[in-house]
Amino acid sequence: MKAFPILFGACFILGTPNFLYAQPIHQDPLAVHIIPEPVKVTRLKGIFQLTRQVQIIIPWNNADARETALLFCRQVRASTGYWLRILHPGQPGEKGKSIRFILNQHADTTLNKEGYTLRVTPYHVFIRANQPAGLFYGMQSLVQLFPPELESTTRILGTRWIIPCVAILDYPRFGWRGLMLDVSRHFFPKSFVESYLNEMAKYKFNIFHWHLADDNGWRIQIKGLPQLTRIGAWRVPRSGRWGTFLPPQPGEAATYGGFYTQKDIREIVRYAQHRHITILPEIDVPGHSLSLIASYPNLSCTQLPYPVNPGSRFYQKQDNALCVGNDSTYLILDKIFTQVAALFPCKYIHVGGDECYKGFWAKCPKCQKLMADEHLQNVDELQSYFMKRMETMLLSKGKKMIGWDEILEGGLAPEATVMSWRGMEGGIAAAKMGHHVIMTPTKYCYLDLYQGDPAVEPPTYGVCLLSTCYRFEPVPDSVDARFILGGQGNLWTESVPNERQAEYMTWPRAMALAEVFWSPRDKRNWDDFVSRMETQFARLDQANIKYSTSAYDPIIAQDSSGNIQLSTEIDGLHIYYTFDDTDPDRFYPEYAGEPLQIPVGANMIKAVAYEGKKQVGREISFTIPASAPRPN
């Protein structure tokens, strides 16, 4: 989506890393620490204990409910060793303690399609819903009531599998609760995509936006167009900082990349469906199309042979935009989107439309002729012509079109849905025109940005803190809320070269967004979220999922007078500091909240955060500029 990372500019001050990761203190194991926060939770007396004798009772003749029960049983078996029996109501042998999945015979209008009620008593657990999706989300909340060890992929001995008795009423605020994974910049195998879907499901995300094609790699097999995966899926290998790489050298083999076969995609779609996740595919056009153009050079205005870009600077130098005046462009796109439409049940297809450099169109005879024939005044209207033609193409295949907010430029296609990323303004404009909108502004929703001090984070650009994600409000005051479908977090992967880093950048910020998209607005409470998040860290540890604790790190800033101010995202932590180049601990001076005057001769400040007697943040260092004011 981005041509190249922009220069970093934020309130953080750079320091030197100290790679210390201390885990927060976990709380009462019987406390209810569900994320996203349910609509209503009532504690009841007593506990329910899971044993190998507990039975799972599911509705007759409902494959979705059975799949949910099987997912629960498989997870329980991995960590407890129990293989729970699945029965139907009234079936011989049905007796004793049970977990019951119940579909309402008469719909509860409070719950709609995805809501549920969960009631835990000492002998039975009841999950009720109008639809199987509600049973699935009720199951996810039930899992979060159990000790974190339930997430283990290996058997845990000696744990009592007890949960508190509770009554929960729950349903989502928004119908669109999405996460996007970019697999073009770096390819992620099928096994990781499924793992990512599994983690999404735990926090009740229901849309997986799969960014399958861009300048840096084509990731989907299209039958009849073999060059897309023979050439477009591969580039020369590079390591280091994205945007600084050497372009392909003469004779250098393109060996880095990969793609998903159509069989892979069908299996991943089915895997997602079992977790009540819809996959939204994206093929980015007319810009960001260099991997397509590298495969079929006749599709660009220059018709020059270009390699798939490895992360070097090329924008405006090589033509990565499809030629809008070329009939072959539409013939190939029709073949591509015919197969994409058949592979993905989602009613939408995302066509990108962002950051398209139009300079080559302005010089292209075919594009200029089309502009004259269609009475188009400028190249923005030419892109609008293209997007409207794309919408007609997708409608003919039974799909609706989604594009990034640039599709507003030159005129919006009649039925298009807008994904607003350059702030909220594009979404506001589209909603006021009566179009549906998904809010995903960079400031709040871009999970590829720094989530802590750049000195101790992997290199990227910009800042999106955990607390910033949690403050996100998808519905602006100036628009009709009916046009806001929901929101989405986006993980672009220019600076995310491997699976562990993808996890680290996603969690826990995606937990914060999950709560924004699911929970009632008036239920959001930052301190309470942090408490529940700490319990989730223990669950991620058991599941071997990497996550960030950057929110516990000190933040060092200078005020307008040049004095030093210290803070943390998380309230209640104690910050200790030093100006003498030594490493502080809890026996050093504690920051009292007032700006610190820089001592004479000091050239560095170091700070660290504690929770009680336990270090929970990494040490952050800042080299003080020689020009900073000091006392006389």
User: Which long-range contacts (C-beta less than 8 Å, at least 24 apart) are formed by 263-266?
Assistant: 264/190, 265/220, 265/221, 265/343, 265/344, 266/343
Q: What's the number of CA atoms in the CB half-sphere (13 Å) around residue 461?
A: 15
Q: N- to C-terminal Cα distance for the chain?
A: 51
Helix (H) or strand (E) holding 511, with range, is: helix 509-518
d(CA 255, CA 581): 46
SS in 3 state form for 260-295? ECHHHHHHHHHHHHHCCCEEEEEEEECCCCHHHHHH
Residue 288 is among the residues annotated as catalytic for this protein: yes
Helical residues (DSSP H) of 146-296, grouped into ranges: 190-202, 227-230, 262-274, 290-295
Phi, psi of 575 (to 5 degrees): -110, 125
CA distances to 394, 477, 601 from 330, in Å = 12, 40, 68
Residue 474 in 3-state DSSP?
coil
Residue 167 Ramachandran class (φ > 0 left, ψ -120 to 50 alpha, else beta): beta
Report d(CA 53, CA 63) in Å as an integer.
Answer: 24
Give the span between the Cα atoms of 592 and 427, in whole angstroms. 42
CB atoms near residue 151 (< 10 Å)? 23
Q: In whole angstroms, what is the distance from residue 598 CA to residue 616 CA?
A: 26
Spatial CA neighbour of 540 closest among 150, 151, 147: 151
CA distances (Å), origin 421, targets 181, 405, 406, 407, 418: 15, 7, 9, 12, 9
Q: How far is CA 269 from CA 57, 193, 273, 418, 507, in A?
A: 27, 10, 6, 24, 23
Q: Would you call 214 a catalytic residue per the annotation?
A: yes
Could you give the angle at the alpha carbon of 490 between the alpha carbons of 485 and 493, nearest 5°? 160
Which regions of 104-190 does DSSP assign to beta strands (E)?
Answer: 116-120, 124-129, 162-170, 176-182
Distance CA 470, CA 533 (A): 12
Whether the upstream peptide bond of residue 459 has omega within 30° of 0, thus cis, is: no
Catalytic-labelled residue, pool 199, 267, 355, 381:
355
Residue 527 identity (one-letter amino acid) = D
Catalytic residue among 288, 350, 435, 436: 288
Catalytic residue among 67, 182, 214, 391: 214
Distance of alpha carbon 437 from alpha carbon 391, whole angstroms: 16
Task: Say if CB 574 and CB 566 are below 8 A apart.
Answer: no
Query: 198 in helix, strand or coil?
Result: helix
355 is catalytic: yes
Strands 564-567 and 555-558: antiparallel
Annotated catalytic sites, by residue?
Answer: 214, 288, 355
